[in-house]
Structure 1
Amino acid sequence: MSSEFTDLVAALDIGGTKIAGALVDDTGRIHVKAQRATPAQEDADAVMGAVEEVIAELRTSPLWAGARAVGIGSAGPVDASAGTVSPVNVLGWRGFPLVARVGAVVDGLPVRLVGDGVAMTAAEHWQGAARGYDNALCLVVSTGVGGGLVLNGRLHPGPTGNAGHIGHISVELAGDLCPCGSRGCVERIASGPNIARRAVEQEWRPGPDGDTTAAAVAAAAAAGDPVAIASFERAARALAAGIAATATLVEVEIAVVGGGVAGAGEVLFTPLRRALGEYAKLSFVRGLRVVPARMGTEAGLVGAAGAVLLDPR
């Protein structure tokens, strides 16, 4: 085999909808890819069976011989120190020993686990919008709100792999109860389902197709609907408060925002930048940039590999 492909990582991106795998080289290029639907309503072994099928397909490639480690980015909560995962949308996995189970089918390759927000952060720092920044916050704003940190030029996952989880910073002290148990969390205001929920509660009416997703609310906001605009502005303020708090605490220089809600474009980013100007007032955070993510749907796989290649343990 060509020496060009002797430093590969087998990357796994595990979510509630799909389980993807790839062989990724040290430039972030994906060479081989496999995917299965996540049997999220089935038991633990059924979900692990889908993971094993993805790995088995990757192993049919001659490039597998160049893999030196496995990187996993998983929906959370995760506990990297214990090697376990408990994805909210995968009912059968609660404290599931994913690192040990994957390790048993990859012939002794080392296995590294991070949360999906940390994986996205690794991808954006390595190949995307945060490249060249030593201190960055990256956010995934989608069904939930997650994130990760780069500090002093290195990925900072924290002891359990959850550092940077901005979605559960409280920004409304007497706000709605969040499923995490706290109140007024960023996620409870700014996630896609909660943007849509707020719009409907304020008597926004969907079009003839009955679509009440955040994407439909974004389209209505872009067309000038005042209730839809207000729902996105409220979400933007919550994100701005969380970003400003994080920047004040650890002095990040850039906030990169990805995920499905970021697809709303300036419907989100214009009020987000405006609100950030109201919250980030101290001299050392006034220059904070907010930009869209660049890595798109491959961020999970590239980031799972990047967590291994950029921060070996």
Structure 2
Amino acid sequence: MLQHSYRYPAPRETVDFVSNGMRQMRGALTPAQDKRIAGLGIAMPFELWNWADTAGAPRDVMDEWRHRDIRADIQAQCDFPVYLQNDATSACGAELVFGQAGAARDFVYFYIGAFAGGGIVLNGRLFGGPTGNAGALGSMPVPGPDGKPTQLIDVASIAMLEKALNARGVEASHLWTSPEDWGEIGPELDDWIASASRALAYAIVAASSIIDFEAAVIDGWMPKA
């Protein structure tokens, strides 16, 4: 597995990472193994240019995503199909196939990563909607710290925890490089868990008022504890 952590996603660097990674990984395969590659999947947030402020990224860099077709850029380098899907929808699909949702055929799924997002499973199948963006739970309105409406992404995202730690002068890159163990973080983690939990509870009730889900699954890039 190859992994690269970054402050914010830039199109050129992302494509370069994939290109170099494919060469490195395919170079370690025999010709027979290489022929067995069935395809390449890209899981990423859609409309990244709308999340510049949340990501703490330069607007001009994030706006480059508006004019790039990363699937086409990578497909041009591949002799096998390249697929693109919303990252939280992909995670929801993985939960459906490999996860612990059990026999539930209808559930709402929340993924807590750099940004909070989610997905929907109906009748035992992943539901992406006509644009592939169904279950974009990060944009669901929830009460903010001051009681005024905000979005789930602005409360429950790990980026919000990182922002709180940086404000105290704490370097927080380990949130991304060590998801199995964050170590001792301090009161900012307790505050974030409390805020995120309230927002998630509100979002679950709101989602369940539309569809009578059997379960709500909460997953994420964070330690089990």
Q: TM-score, normalised by structure 2?
A: 0.72
Q: Which residue of 2 aligns with 1:70?
A: 40
Name structure 1 gaps, 5 residues minimum. Answer: 1-32, 79-84, 178-182, 222-226, 266-313
With over 3 angstroms needed to count, the CA separation of the structure-2 counterparts of 1:174 and 1:156, relative to structure 1, is same
Letter in 2 for 1:238: A
> How many pairs were matched up?
207
Judge conservation of contact 2:144–2:155 (CA < 8 Å) in 1: no
Is 1:98 equivalent to 2:70 in the alignment?
Answer: yes
With over 3 angstroms needed to count, the CA separation of the structure-2 counterparts of 1:174 and 1:93, relative to structure 1, is same
Judge conservation of contact 1:142–1:259 (CA < 8 Å) in 2: yes
Q: Which residue of 1 aligns with 2:16?
A: 49
Judge conservation of contact 1:86–1:94 (CA < 8 Å) in 2: no
With over 3 angstroms needed to count, the CA separation of the structure-2 counterparts of 1:152 and 1:187, relative to structure 1, is same
The residue matched to 2:195 in structure 1 has which SS? helix
Judge conservation of contact 2:43–2:86 (CA < 8 Å) in 1: yes
Whose radius of gyration is greater, 1 or 2? 1
Structure 1 residue 217: deviation in Å?
11
Q: Which residue of 2 aligns with 1:255?
A: 216
With over 3 angstroms needed to count, the CA separation of the structure-2 counterparts of 1:229 and 1:71, relative to structure 1, is closer
Q: Which residue of 1 aligns with 2:178?
A: none
Query: Among 153, 165, 170, which residue is 1:211 paired with?
Result: 170
- Alpha-carbon separation, structure 1, partners of 2:124 and 2:23: 35
Deviations 1:258-283 (A, max 9, x none): 2245x373xxxxxxxxxxxxxxxxxx
Is 1:122 equivalent to 2:83 in the alignment?
Answer: no
Query: Among 133, 136, 141, which residue is 1:165 paired with?
Result: 136
Judge conservation of contact 1:136–1:150 (CA < 8 Å) in 2: yes
- Alpha-carbon separation, structure 1, partners of 2:72 and 2:147: 38
Letter in 2 for 1:149: I
Structure 1 residue 243: deviation in Å?
1.4
The residue matched to 1:93 in structure 2 has which SS? helix
Structure 1 residue 143: deviation in Å?
2.7
Is 1:235 equivalent to 2:207 in the alignment?
Answer: no
- Alpha-carbon separation, structure 2, partners of 1:192 and 1:231: 9
Deviations 1:25-56 (A, max 9, x none): xxxxxxxx3445569576x4343222211222
Q: Which residue of 2 aligns with 1:153?
A: 124
Q: TM-score, normalised by structure 1?
A: 0.54
Judge conservation of contact 2:47–2:65 (CA < 8 Å) in 1: no
Structure 1 stretch displaced more, 68-77 or 188-197: 188-197
- Alpha-carbon separation, structure 2, partners of 1:38 and 1:48: 13
Sequence identity percentage: 25
- Alpha-carbon separation, structure 1, partners of 2:152 and 2:15: 32
Is 1:192 equivalent to 2:166 in the alignment?
Answer: no
- Alpha-carbon separation, structure 2, partners of 1:248 and 1:58: 46
